[in-house]
Amino acid sequence: MDFFFRPRGLAIVGATANRKKGGYHILYNVRQGFEGNIYPVNPRYREIDGIPCFASIMDVPDPADMAILFIPAPAVPELALQCARRGIRGVIVESSGFSEVGAEGRSFQDALRRIAAETGLRIWGPNCMGIIDTATRAVFSFVSPSIWEDELVRGGVSLVVQSGMLSGGFLMDAITHGQAGFSKVCSLGNKVDVNECDVLPYLIHDPATEAVGLYLESFADGRRFMKICRQSDKPVVVLKGGKSPEGSRAALSHTASLAGNHGVVRGALDQAGVIEAVDFKEMIDLCVGLTGAAGWKRAREGRIAVVTYTGAGGILSADFMQGTGLSLADLSPPTLEALREIYPPWMPPGNPLDLWPAMERQGPLRALSVALKAVCADPGVDGVLLHAFVGGAVSYVDLEEAAETAYSAGKPLFCWLLGRHSQVQGFKESARQLRIPVYGELSRAVKCMAALFRYKKNRRDSKG
């Protein structure tokens, strides 16, 4: 798979000088970050934007181990064959018009399948959006060049998406909203040859990847997929499309996927230690939660201290924990004693720990500092769910100190955040760097925290 992610030379078949077309976007995107050789292929041009353009893939010089094909579907099989003859090792077919559109398209896709089987050429796609790698800044995709106007935020989350358009839009949304940092985003499309069983192991072995989220409409080889997941030392999150009869019918016309019975799938995923997401952003949120527990070495129970500025948030936190394996920790007598020192005498501290009276008395920063140290030192506390607010002049949280406190205690710290729009982004960015997962909806924070504890427990159990 490495030649897909880090080719030495890359041909772009269907490159064009028309700036409105995907064939130009691919060339533009590749040039922004990719450091290997770039070979546009299109008989209509001698050069595009100053780069020599080749009439045929056969004319492309060495080194050239990968090609992106962005030409009409009927022409794709012949070009793929030429690539194989030329010694190209893998092609990403980003054109659509294959099995997803009916009988004729299916014949082109069948031809591609035969070519892969007969020549050994690896074929990624068709009907896909290619690869985005934030570490190498390789954008092998027709995604809008406007993606470069924002920083490609690096991080530990890699995605595999069996969809074309979504991956680009989804990624831009997630990156610019500070939802996560990413390693590699892979859009698989119709999976004529390369599928999740090829890409997932590559990502599991990728040092920059800490968790993998997959949106799949079908499993190319369910048994093998489950085995890969079971053996993975990194969390795998799956969002399955086509769970309902109507969704399943729609999947057939999207990526020609047969979705299967989801009850069976769910059981298999669970047994393989896979975390199931129900929606797109939740998939990323779960990945963030599962990678966001720096310093958390030992697996423990899910006894949580909830530190809040709002009683209502404390109550709903407890409600959301029900049935997830998380519970409110019983704070020990020494912890309660340490907390009483910052509270007014009329207010007994408890869990959820409504910190407001202590904040009024001690100032928010000192109250939170004492409270976090106290609950993190408590052997009966396995993790902390902090409710934070940003807005106005007063800072309620010293994130660095909070991360340090949780980190030294080896306890995961999760955060539910409300606040002014203009200040929320900065908080999220700092928290991301400190590996504190942050969520805007409280139920989501609890769900992702529960997923982390359940994942760690499963790993512990499976190791005996």
- Binds its own copies by CB under 8 A, chosen from 86, 113, 154, 281: 281
- Which residue, 31 or 281, is less far from its own copies as judged by CB? 281
d(CA 420, CA 270): 38
Chain centroid to Cα 20, Å, comes to 29
Binding-residue total with its own copies (CB under 8 A): 89
Q: Which of residues 392-431 bind its own copies (CB under 8 A)?
A: 392-394, 418-422, 424-425
d(CA 281, CA 141): 21
- Which residue, 380 or 410, is less far from its own copies as judged by CB? 380
- Which residue, 22 or 273, is less far from its own copies as judged by CB? 22
d(CA 322, CA 328): 10
Stretch touching its own copies by CB under 8 A, among 4-12, 344-352, 372-380, 406-414: 344-352
Q: How many residues does the chain have?
A: 464
- Taking CB under 8 A as the rule, does residue 191 contact its own copies? no
- Binds its own copies by CB under 8 A, chosen from 357, 401, 404, 410: 357
| Residue 287 CB, nearest approach to its own copies (Å) | 15
Angle at 232 between CA 227 and CA 237, to 5 degrees: 90
Q: Which of residues 60-119 bind its own copies (CB under 8 A)?
A: 73, 96-97, 100-102, 104-105
φ, ψ of residue 438 to 5 degrees: the values are: -125, 135
- Please list the helix, strand and coil fractions of the chain in percent, rounded to the nearest 5, in that order: 45, 20, 35
- Binds its own copies by CB under 8 A, chosen from 294, 315, 365, 377: 315
- Binds its own copies by CB under 8 A, chosen from 71, 76, 84, 251: 251
- Which residue, 81 or 259, is less far from its own copies as judged by CB? 259
- Binds its own copies by CB under 8 A, chosen from 312, 325, 341, 361: 312
Stretch touching its own copies by CB under 8 A, among 194-202, 248-256, 267-275, 366-374: 248-256
| Residue 84 CB, nearest approach to its own copies (Å) | 26
- Which residue, 58 or 394, is less far from its own copies as judged by CB? 394
- Binds its own copies by CB under 8 A, chosen from 177, 340, 366, 457: 177
Q: Alpha helices of 260-395 — where are they, by DSSP H?
A: 262-271, 280-291, 311-321, 333-340, 356-362, 364-377
> Would strands 47-48 and 51-52 be described as parallel, antiparallel, or unpaired?
antiparallel
Taking alpha carbons only, the member of 392, 390, 391, 362 closest to residue 374 is 362
- Which residue, 50 or 348, is less far from its own copies as judged by CB? 348
Q: Which of residues 114-153 bind its own copies (CB under 8 A)?
A: 144-147, 149-150
Taking alpha carbons only, the member of 102, 131, 100 closest to residue 7 is 131
Structure tokens at 139: 């954008």
Binding mask 197-226 for its own copies (x = CB under 8 A): ------------------x-x---------
* Rounded alpha-carbon distances, angstroms, from residue 196 to 98, 156, 262: 19, 18, 18
Q: Which of residues 1-60 bind its own copies (CB under 8 A)?
A: none
| Residue 59 CB, nearest approach to its own copies (Å) | 29
- Taking CB under 8 A as the rule, does residue 367 contact its own copies? no
| Residue 390 CB, nearest approach to its own copies (Å) | 9
Report yes or no: 292 and 210 within 8 Å, Cβ to Cβ: no
- Which residue, 60 or 153, is less far from its own copies as judged by CB? 153
| Residue 444, CB-side half-sphere exposure with 13 Å CA sphere | 22
- Taking CB under 8 A as the rule, does residue 381 contact its own copies? no
Report yes or no: 357 and 396 within 8 Å, Cβ to Cβ: no
Residues ≥6 apart with Cβ < 8 Å to 424: 390, 417, 440
Q: Taking the chain, what is the end-to-end CA distance rounded to the nearest angstrom?
A: 33
- Binds its own copies by CB under 8 A, chosen from 321, 385, 403, 450: 321
Chain centroid to Cα 351, Å, comes to 33
